[in-house]
Structure 1
């Protein structure tokens, strides 16, 4: 079996929940706050990427593990952006009934990952699924001072996360980095994007595969300039340090990845390219 086919078999399915339409333009310093317009233009222009818009994919990973059907993150649901609330269509196209999902494991609690646990009416969408989230991630969003400390444009993230936490509180189980919420699914500390962001290494298939969450979140910047600080990271310096170490390790180990915001379906490998790296789709 070719490696690309092996990676797709190891992962199971990647389901699209749509694409973001970001008003934050790469060239205006919001996505790359510490870089000049010329630096950004030179990097993105080399790959014919637009400077005045960003529409990243949103790919959710679905893994069948024995008698378990595991969903990594839950998407944004219908109330964040209309262009990303399309997971139901992908379930239908894939012939998957959401009621079959037994476990949902969360990388972090941003809107595009956890808001989708509720349906259009505010009721739990995966009533029979067992949710798992990092203890430290839960504690961060629940902390008394988090709302006050959050920038104004992200306060809705806190309110939304707490609302979803309320819906799953009686069902949720917590884990820490190094634990396996599901056998063969190892939580990996990749904090920085949020204070307790985790990725998940999938073991037991023909190749190890890392579900990266937002530790790697751009098909060019994350690979060619992993040390550049990203505006969407809560701790920008830590996010860059985590990303740099992770990219280097993945290239050295020849491990595969599935990236939430990489071009659909987001499956591939990290390869060295001169003094930097590149994403090689499977």
Structure 2
């Protein structure tokens, strides 16, 4: 029962995931190694922040439902990974741009043992210094950290930016009513594709949630794309981009978006931040035949 509840937190507002939650039992792990990784995008200071590591069992109920667990295991084995489970990081990104201190997504939250606030303590920034929170989408592992363990606003001085379709969808979720009530005074909505902060534009990535977006960060000639949940596993999402994933609200559209966007990223060699890839989740996509591979940044 506890494991089923943990999965519900992992993807609390996804209708598709709710259907799968009783059958999947992911474990959580405390991240080891560094929890804050600082780099630069042009003149911008950017920090990847660790929140949690999740482990999804390989039972073909999340990844490879149409292919079966044995096919998933074969792909994992070829990559030298464990064949009985899939590890997924949950990470966030902080961008410092002049007077703006911007957080992209908030992780699971302390009530689900998310460690984002602890990771933030390893930087020179505090929750009170966050001026803006940009949400890629409203699944629980991206918005849970908007609340403290006591259910109060975690980032009291911040404006919370959520796409209008996702905000409307979130308000329909009965199990997210408490979160909606607390954060409503902070929320400002935008249309996918809008500029949401200086140097940051939202990028529509259809299929995952009604208003799922990535965020394109630009400083001078330097660029970084936070891809949100375009991809989840650096093995399965790239080796088999056309496999559907239970996390996507529209699985067919999600798979089509994944294939098209990965092809673009491989062609233009753009650096991305993938919040569910192994920390710090910074790297590029390379095309190999009909699939793709992950190239972590040095």
TM-score bin, normalised by smaller chain: 0.7 to 0.9
Q: How does 1:176-215 map to 2 (within 5 A)?
A: 176-215=191-230
Partner of 2:294: 279
Determine helix, strand or coil for the equivalent of 2:73. Answer: helix
- List alignment gaps of at least 5 residues for structure 1: 148-157
Partner of 2:153: 124
Determine helix, strand or coil for the equivalent of 1:222. Answer: helix
Determine helix, strand or coil for the equivalent of 2:86. Answer: coil
Could you list the per-position Cα deviations for residues 68-105 of structure 1 after superposition, in whole angstroms to 9, with x for gaps in the alignment? 0100011111223x3xx111221112232111110001
Question: What stretches of structure 1 move > 4 A for 4+ residues in a row?
Answer: 4-11
Partner of 2:233: 218
Q: How does 1:1-282 map to 2 (within 5 A)?
A: 12-22=46-56, 25-80=57-112, 82=113, 85-143=114-172, 147=173, 159-160=175-176, 162-282=177-297
Structure showing the higher strand proportion among its residues: 2
Distance 1:73 1:96, change over 3 A: same
Could you list the per-position Cα deviations for residues 18-50 of structure 1 after superposition, in whole angstroms to 9, with x for gaps in the alignment? 21133xx22444332111233212211111222
> Any conservation in 2 of the 1:7–1:206 contact (CA below 8 Å)?
no
Alpha-carbon distance between aligned partners in 1 of 2:85 and 2:102, rounded to the nearest angstrom: 33
Alpha-carbon distance between aligned partners in 1 of 2:294 and 2:184, rounded to the nearest angstrom: 37
TM-score, length basis structure 2:
0.82
Give the number of aligned pairs.
Answer: 260
> Any conservation in 1 of the 2:39–2:47 contact (CA below 8 Å)?
no
Distance 1:6 1:94, change over 3 A: closer
Alpha-carbon distance between aligned partners in 1 of 2:175 and 2:161, rounded to the nearest angstrom: 20
Alpha-carbon distance between aligned partners in 2 of 1:233 and 1:240, rounded to the nearest angstrom: 9
Determine helix, strand or coil for the equivalent of 1:20. Answer: strand
